[in-house]
Chains A and B, each alone.
Chain A
Amino acid sequence: MKKYSILIALLAIFSFSACEDAIDLVPRSELTANGFWDSEDGAKAAHIGIYSNLRSQAGDFWSFGELRSDLWGGYTLETPSNLGFIESDFSANSAPYGGWAGFYIYIHRINDFIVNVPNIAFINEAEKAHLMGQAHAIRAFYYFHLAKTWGDVPVILEPMADFDPEGLSTPRVAVTEVLDIVKSDIEASLTYFGSDEDLYKGKNIYWSKAASQMLKAEVHLWTGKLYGGGAADYTTAKNTLEAIQGFILEDSFDGMFSDENNDEFIFAFDYKEDQASNIFNSFTGRGTEVHPLYDGAGNSMSTFVTNGASRYGPTEKLLLITDDILDTRRDATFTRMYSDDNAEAGYPTYDPATYQASLLNKFMGHVNGGGSRIMDNNVPMYRYADAILLQAEAMNNLGEDPSGMINLIRERAYGENYDVAVHGYVNASQTENTNAILEERMKEFVGEGKRWYDLRRAGDQFVFDNVEYISEGYKLLLPITSDMIGRNPLLEQTAGY
């Protein structure tokens, strides 16, 4: 009897501890690597993930595309952000955007997408081709930003699987090679799109063939000017832009920023309350500072609903260039704020003595029912005005007359006030044309991340002439941090630093 008792006790102990299945658990709320790529649903969830990720880098795209130009660094109501970057005040020791601005995790994910999606059967194979077209183009878009910002960068086109620390270091790949990869990804994208001009789900917040064409043109204008591609590249750019279908210049400049489904945005980031906010709350202010001020018309700002901070201020140069009262872009772009109302008369044009700061009107969002400002304007990455002006640029580079293109933009900007004799541009020297295009783009694309690249595409001298903080060529590319080299000893510091 005793023996049985002992046996029973032993059995009891092991019955509840030896059950090996008890520790094979299956997650209820998480997706693991197991089975994710088995179905169309997984592919579509990953497709949306690509856009959330792309949008999360919108701040970096904007910073890279605009901050180092001559647009920002003017008066703010609070401590300005990124002043060191705006003034290109960095060295190898204070390299900004360490870790390649975090781009590579997104590249890894797109690689993951590009490798796995072709193996999945879709109900509609045309949809699959569209998704693949989008993915290749977005990967090209990331690498293009990396190449424009750092020059030589590591290239990785497969999802990471092996993390053996030995031999994990890899050198930077020559920028020309990176740009070739960008071009081949764009070609792959266009092949996938084929003749499909449709927007995915009919929305401009997904990448489309037209967006790939925009990117292709931009890349060729870049390599044409900076890496010796010359006329062949300009011609490719021009032809590609001419082939874009389905978009127009909207009638009203300011209307387009509040109407997200306009026909001018080729590709824009989607923002919605409770989903994501754009970066432009750093262009408002705090009530304490904003409320005592007056706008240019002499109205008190005391009821203006703020959200965020006043961290970026337009330079005086930008304020003056965009100060043409007849140009509808003036008021659509900035609300200039002054310390007084000039005895109720306000300041119809910029008054340096009383000027305090500006609000960026393009992306001011809306005030919701609870009295809070929501920064929910979609922000365009490419719009048709850009296509027109890039075309002007390609034509000018080819020695053709770009004035027709420039005037399309001016006509829309001046609207009823447009007087061809006064506002119309007349073809001039190539340099004058370049400056005219640059100025037109400056007025048109404030806050859209274009100006720095525009100056770079015009040529180094245009950068030096317009940006007071840069006078040496090596400063056009960013240095890398010692941490980046520490993790990857095969990396070499950007030349010149």
Chain B
Amino acid sequence: MKQQFKLFKQICLVFTMLLCVNAFAQSGTTTGTVTGSDGSPLPGTSVIVQGSSNGTQTDFDGNYTLNTKMGDILVFSYIGFETKKINVANFNTLNVVLAEDANVLNEVVITGYGSQKRNTLATSVAKLDNQVLESATTSNVGTALQGTVAGVQVTQNTGQPGSTPTIVIRGGTNFNGSGSPLVLIDGVPGSFYALNSDDIASMEVLKDAASTAIYGAQGANGVVLIKTKQGKVGKSNISFTTRYSINNERATPDYVSAGDFIKYNRQGVLNYTEVTGKTNFNNSFLNGATAFGTGGNTTDSPFTTQYLTADNQYLLDQGWGSVIDPVDPSKTIIFQENDVSDLIYQNATTKDHYLAFDGGNENGTYYLGLGILDSDGLALGSGFTRYSGKFSGSYNILDNLKVTSHVAYVHSSILGSPLGSDNTVFQRFSGQALTSRTYNHNPDGTLSNVLNPGTNSGFGNPLYYIDKINQRKDLQQRLTTSVKVDWDIIEDLKFSVTASHQATNDHGERFNKAYLSGGSLKTGRESYADLQRIQQNQVTGILNYKKTLAEKHNFDAMLGGEYFKKNLYAFSAGTKNSPSDLIPTMNAGSEANGVPYSFETEYAMVSQFGILNYNFDERYLVGLSLRRDGSSLLGNDKYGYFPGASIGWNLHNENFFSDSKVSEYVNSIKPRISYGVNGNVNSLRNGTNTWDNYNAYGAYSDQGIYDGQTGYANSKVPVLDLQWERSTTLNFGLDLGLFDNRVTILADYFVRDVYDKIAGLTLPYYTGFSSIKTNNGILRNKGYELQLNAEAIRSQNISWNIGATLYSIKNYVVELPDNDNENNRQGGTEIYDPATGGTKWVDAYQEGMQVGVYDVVAYIHDYVYADQAAVDEHADRYDDVAKNHTTRFPGDVAWKDLNGDNIIDKLDRKVIGSERPDFSGGFTSNLRYKDFGLFVKTDFAVGHLIRNNMREKGLAQTQGNLNAFTELLDSWTPENTITDVPRMTFTDPQKNFNRGSSAMWEKGDYLALREVTLSYDLPKGTIKSINGLRLYFTGSNLAYFTKYSGDTPEKGGFQGGKFPTPVTYTVGLNITL
């Protein structure tokens, strides 16, 4: 410490002497302060007299002193800020305010194991606009990437707060278009889960293989680099952020009223009998105590439906409804209309607070961030809480030795609804018939406060079950620590070692109280607990050499080594028959429930790598990288080499360009080409399940218990000769800056070939295995990405920035191992081929074709038979799928007989689209007027198809008691014959809906109004003690502009009735002292 002050003094002394010398040379001294636009000093800003080696850096308080001559041009540059050039007009004080660099083309981007200015970069790296993280409360940061980064497909699968969305970069490297990117938080592999968005300083996405090759085996699916906030040299700050949000339910589809429900469904049972000749449903569904059966009673049956009698007539006076029974029109059915679909929702708010302290001096910096997030889910009983603490500190021990450390601890709890899984809880509970009974009735007809359990725990009254079954507790403790030592060995040569450890402990508990299910009291009182422990260690060493030769040859070289190991351990146990509801833990149970379980596994990787970046005069850019990885997942051949190369040309730095006319409009133009190779072994696991690490070695696995012993049997054959899967990406890019860089465009076109794709090879069934992991052929992803930013308005008081991203990705199969099928096809289904009159295979992997596994193959719903005459036109038609193969009825669907053989069978299906979008993207708009800002973020996806199973189940009544959307009212009846909606036939024996009907697939095209933020920044100096104050109002997930009938159209494919994302309104305040 003392030594350093001494050094500082010496430097000052030298400067003073210089000043004296210069005073004699008829020159002057320029002094001043350099600050950012927020008024904070910018220490370390470089101040240079243009065209000379005369220069200095600002000190700790942003002050500088420099001897200058009249007419000198001073160049002020600071990383991340726009460079300013100012003419020295006199020797007075020259205070300079540097604007943060909004120009995308000059931004600094974090790259693999380093950082680079974009103008020296020839690879494809996208940086997230931090505006996205500022206002909206995000319980999972992954959602911030939605629509903001071209080429990154983010899908929110559920509205469960805290849950991580599916993120796929450039179509993934798996045949089915999946593959999760590597997420590095300050260089440590991690995940978006429980990451506090307020801790994040920047987020970068490495997309092409030349940029990810340096991460070798882990980077094949792209890399997301997250840097957390660090203290800055300068004044100490205390800042506080608080947000309060209300989560509202989305306008759900309208359901039919209780009366219509009874009418259509009872008629549906009659229609069933007409079709099948069977009356087997009459007992339970017409006369039983079911949703539209007449077996209900006046007090405590799960459903209220019953015939009107003299004894229950009084209920009509209490508001019960009535409807004529279509089965026996001489009778009237009464019921209590009960809006039960709302019972699955709870009032949901989110509270999010964040407190940060940061600061630093020339010896060191610190940053401490503390956060609390408490978010309720929309579904009853669901929620997410998170307490986070993060400390980052650095200290210069010696002039050439610096130590940096990050410690982050997150204490979080993600609780799903006790009532069911994310994917079906809404189908079963929200879709209940309005004839359900929520509270029992007293014998006198008045409502009691005793909750009726409903049918059973899987399909019952949410209010009854919510505090009885699956009473959960969840706690995840995640501690991440890292230490980095930077050592400047000699000038230009730096050495650093980073060591990190992450420990994750996930504790879960579950308890069932005594509850009624199906009319019996279940007193098993099962208590269950589990623990998952993950320990991850990584050590990275890097030797870095930076040198500029002859002022124009800029070298940046790096050599590194890395070791990574992850160890996973799980434990679980359960007991049952506890005597009391009061003790939810296992100690009260009288005997074991199931067999206690523990399991441990691990995997490791060793790597060496090197990078060489070279540019000539910031005109010609070259980047080279090579990595060697060894993975424990592979058998005999553990090592692989993965090179990457990129070249770029800053055309605008050429004289001929700057002399040309074009340069008046085009300020910067950089064509770039990159090529790189990534390895991947994750596909060797089942998905990316990190618990599954010995697949290559074959397995004899647990087959269950027989006669009190655990049996084992061969479940996987060894694949010891499996090779690394290698993906090569060829990327063509163009960076453009137009009109004084007010419009910037980043465009990329890429072709990614995945060689030796490790994938399941489909096998004949006699082998006993459905598939085996092999190096299975070549996959190709092709796509384009566009990112556009424009400063539409730039003036003193008003600024308006708009941004757009657009991308499209397609997956192809180039080569497959030879098998005995045409095109070496694997899997698939056979349909009629109108082109040849024969048949063809779709929904398969076939050489030379687009990956078909997301093909939507459907029977084509042509029209609905209006009457008997229409049916008779197809009198001799045979329907292989319908229950009644030879007879159709008015109200049934007329299917298109595509091959004209008058038989409707599997061949009469067609590919009507894909479950994946054709293209996706987003728009952002950021308008500022004086101290007010309006930020709007949208995203869209076009071309994916969704099958809304709630709609289908209601119309077809395949569950028995589910309510239907109002579309049912448009279904065929003898009175409503001209319609496209088939008649309601109980359980859909004719398969009018439930056969993969084209009419049940809907377009998922949507534009989501993801965020709107209105903000106000208090002008600086208004209140002296306050450095900054920002007040804002944000709406998130405000609306989907879509024709899709369900809640959220983001995810294509089958939708069982998932937990929808809420509409969230937030008020927030940031204050910095």
CB within 8 Å of B: which residues of A?
Answer: 2, 5-6, 9-10, 12-20, 22-25, 27-34, 36, 42, 45-53, 55-56, 74-80, 89, 91, 93-94, 99-100, 102, 104-109, 112, 153-154, 156, 159-161, 163, 165-170, 201, 203, 205-206, 270, 272, 274-276, 286-292, 302-303, 305-306, 313, 339, 356-357, 368-372, 482-484, 486-491
Contact = CB atoms under 8 A, between A and B. Distances in A.
B448 interface: no
B638 A49 contact: no
B713 A49 contact: yes
Interface in B483-527: 487, 489-490, 493, 495, 497, 517-526
Contacts of B817: 165-166
B818 A52 contact: no
A34 B700 CA distance: 9
Contacts of A105: 768-769
A160 B489 contact: no
B821 A489 contact: yes
9 contacts: A10-B559, A13-B543, A17-B607, A23-B631, A24-B632, A36-B712, A94-B881, A105-B769, A370-B526
Given A31-B701, A275-B704, A484 B601 contact: no
B565 A75 contact: no
A276 B705 contact: yes
Interface in B820-863: 820-821, 824-825, 827-830, 841
Contacts of A270: 706-707
A80 B281 CA distance: 10
Contacts of B699: 30-33
Contact of A49 (B603, B711, B766): B711
Contact of A274 (B559, B593, B820): B593
B632 A33 contact: no
Contact of B698 (A24, A32, A46): A32
A146 B701 CA distance: 25
B766 A370 contact: no
Nearest to B574: A274
B400 to A, nearest CB: 10
Contacts of A289: 284, 288-290
B139 to A, nearest CB: 33
Contacts of B625: none
A25 B565 CA distance: 11
Given A20-B606, A156-B766, A159-B714, A9 B302 contact: no
Given A17-B607, A23-B604, A30-B601, A160 B767 contact: yes
A276 B704 contact: yes
B283 interface: yes
Nearest to B816: A165
A108 B767 contact: yes
Given A22-B565, A29-B601, A169-B764, A91 B606 contact: no
Given A17-B562, A160-B769, A168-B763, A56 B289 contact: no
B333 to A, nearest CB: 17
Contact of A287 (B520, B590, B606, B960): B520
A206 B706 CA distance: 10
A22 B519 contact: no
Contacts of A201: 707
A427 B498 CA distance: 92
B456 interface: yes
Given A5-B489, A46-B700, A93-B880, A75 B283 contact: yes
Contacts of B487: 9
A15 B540 CA distance: 11
Contacts of B561: 13-18
A23 B905 CA distance: 53
Sorted from nearest, which 6 A-B pairs have the closest CB atoms? A370-B524, A287-B518, A17-B561, A287-B519, A33-B698, A49-B711
A289 to B, nearest CB: 5
A292 to B, nearest CB: 6
B713 A371 contact: no
Nearest to A27: B694
A99 B768 CA distance: 9
Contacts of A80: 280
B987 interface: yes
Contact of B713 (A53, A91, A153, A288): A53
A23 B577 contact: no
B819 interface: yes
Interface string B619-652: 0000000000011100000100000000000000
Contacts of B284: 77-78, 289, 356
Contacts of B705: 52, 272, 274-276
Given A75-B283, A79-B987, A105-B769, A292 B295 contact: yes
B168 to A, nearest CB: 28
Contacts of A153: 766
A197 B827 CA distance: 48
B709 interface: yes
A488 B820 CA distance: 7
Contacts of B906: 93-94, 482
Contacts of B770: 99
A487 B763 contact: yes
B37 interface: no
B706 A275 contact: yes
Contacts of A42: 700, 712
A49 B960 contact: no
A184 B351 CA distance: 73
A14 B960 CA distance: 66
Interface in B275-318: 280, 283-284, 287-290, 295, 302
A94 B539 CA distance: 56
B324 interface: no
A76 to B, nearest CB: 6
A287 B526 CA distance: 21
Contacts of A25: 602-604, 632, 693
A2 B522 contact: no
Contacts of A55: 704, 706
Interface string B771-806: 010100000000000000000000000000000000
Contacts of A24: 632
Given A17-B608, A94-B881, A203 B707 contact: yes
B697 A33 contact: yes
Interface in B663-722: 693-694, 697-701, 703-714, 717-718
Contact of A33 (B289, B522, B717, B818): B717
B734 interface: no
Contacts of B960: 78-79
Contacts of B407: none
Contacts of B714: 33, 36, 108-109, 112, 159
Contacts of B694: 27, 30, 32
A370 to B, nearest CB: 3
Nearest to A156: B766
Contacts of A20: 606, 630
A327 to B, nearest CB: 27
Contacts of A291: 518-519
Nearest to B989: A83
Contact of A166 (B543, B704, B818): B818
Contacts of A292: 288-289, 295
A350 to B, nearest CB: 15
Interface string B581-599: 0000000001011110011
B606 A51 contact: no
Contacts of B763: 163, 168, 487
Nearest to B762: A487
Contacts of B761: 163, 165
Contacts of B562: 17
A52 B765 contact: no
B631 A163 contact: no
A356 B283 contact: yes
Contact of B489 (A9, A29, A75): A9
Nearest to A32: B697
Nearest to B303: A288
Contacts of B524: 368-372
